[in-house]
Amino acid sequence: MGKKNVNRSRKYLYRSGLHCPREKALLSDLESIPGLSASYIPVASVAHSKRRKLFIIINSIMEHLTKKTFLDKVFNFEINKEWKFKGKLPCIIDFYADWCGPCKMVAPVLEDLSKEYSGKVNIYKVDTEAEQELAAAFGIRSIPSILFVPMEGQPQMAMGALPKDSLKQAITNVLNVN
């Protein structure tokens, strides 16, 4: 009986990737949170244990900023006229739109860089369709527009779909991060 159940479990695991509907629902809920990616690692259950174990790994990839979170985390342009960065790490802000083809090409590159520079650089995204006031405050007229914000000094804007090498060079030269 035990062997038959194990085989059935394995088939279900291979077919669905997760053990039960609750685990699938949890993973789905986590993946629906903007800026998070979740992945699963099934762990073999302990001998004679009927309880299965599943670790969910959550990777903060990129945070989507609203006007409120931008004012809190980056720069409060409603109060300050002079640039004063509020962040703890230098950041890159990608101004994008869901319908924009070049923006879709830049997104996976920025995701890779967010993993590569995790703990060194924050990478944010601003949806220009949803956050029109924020886009207007920075004079965004073409997308993608990428704002590089160093810890000290003035931010620098780049327009267009930059290749990964150019983004890495800007991280080194503008943000002073190795």
- The length of the chain is 178
Report the C-alpha gap between 69 and 153 in whole angstroms. 21
Active-site residue (options: 92, 100, 110, 140) = 100
Report the C-alpha gap between 57 and 42 in whole angstroms. 11
Per the annotation, the verdict on 103 as an active-site residue is yes
Active-site residue (options: 18, 61, 65, 103) = 103
Segment (H or E) for 110: helix 101-116
Report the C-alpha gap between 77 and 155 in whole angstroms. 13
Per the annotation, the verdict on 20 as an active-site residue is no
Reduced to 3 states (helix: H, G, I; strand: E, B; else coil), residue 37 is strand
Is the peptide bond prior to 90 cis by the omega test (within 30 degrees of 0)?
Answer: no
- Known catalytic residues are 100, 103
